[in-house]
Amino acid sequence: MGKQKIVYTEALAEYKQKHSKVFKKSGKIKNDFYEEITLKLQYELVKLQQWIIDEKKRLLIIFEGMDTAGKSSTIKEITSYLNPREIRAVALPKPNNKELGQWYFQRYVKQLPNAGKIIFFDRSWYNRAGIEQVFGFCTQAQHDLFYKQINPFEEMLVDDGILLFKFYLNITQETQINRIKDREKSPLKRWKLSKLDYLSVDKYTQYAQLRDKMFTLSATKKAPWCELDANDKKRARLNAIRYLLLNIDYKGKDVSLIHGVDKKIVTLHS
């Protein structure tokens, strides 16, 4: 895989020609469009996975973002039709005493993909760039050391052949508050809430500052950041999938379908 690229296009143009309305009054994409587009993209993801398996490639996809941004649901959408034996979603808990005595990246290295595998990180080593700094779970010296090591570390991964993608799902504070309220009302989602979710709302400005610092210090040509406006989860998911497929030359790609991403949703930091 060469340098990741971004091609902006009117991603829904072909559907606007077939349907009278693409968006709801709120500006969010309508469900019927989403389902139609997603099904086609999921077929492409199946072809991508088969290519990963056949060619013994290693694909690592990192999802970062504030609480309630939609990291887990995006991973779930991407993996809907993939072979579960060849993929794994990693959401590590806080480090135990043994791990606290290790090199910071050590417990993440254990989770890196083997040949033919796709690994998703639902939060990653970038915890040290954000949440650990916000709540004092690391020292300033540890935070600074992270930024000294991160770019050489990721460069080694890419040089060794790992296909590395880093997505950041960005939402407004208003969206975050509304999604927390939605989770409070739903017995199926209430388990997702934690004390930190509520505290994070008050720390929104600090999170945003650290996010921008992360883009500045850890976005490189070999490991860029793909920032997604995730206030509309469905549009963010579509563009994440399009960006991923656009940047891997897998066998049988439908180039008429994979032709670009929406400029209103995607920003590339490199």
- DSSP bridge partners of 65: 169
Contacting residues for 238 by C-beta, under 8 A, at least 6 apart: 11, 29, 34, 37, 38, 41
The encoded tokens of residue 36 equal 């139609």
- Min mean pLDDT across 81-90, 132-141, 168-177, 187-196 is at 187-196
The domain spans of the chain are 13-269
pLDDT band at 122 (very low <50, low <70, confident <90, very high): very high
Contact criterion met (CB below 8 Å) for 111 and 124: no
CA dihedral 66, 85, 250, 56 (to 10 degrees): 110
Section 57-74 average pLDDT: 96
Architecture of domain 13-269: 3-Layer(aba) Sandwich (3.40)
pLDDT attached to residue 1: 63
Contacting residues for 216 by C-beta, under 8 A, at least 6 apart: none
Question: Cα–Cα distance between 146 and 74 in angstroms, integer?
Answer: 27
User: Is the pLDDT assigned to residue 81 strictly greater than 90?
Assistant: yes
- pTM value is 0.93
Share of the chain above pLDDT 70, in %: 94
Q: What are phi and psi of 111, to 5 degrees?
A: -95, 0
pLDDT attached to residue 20: 54
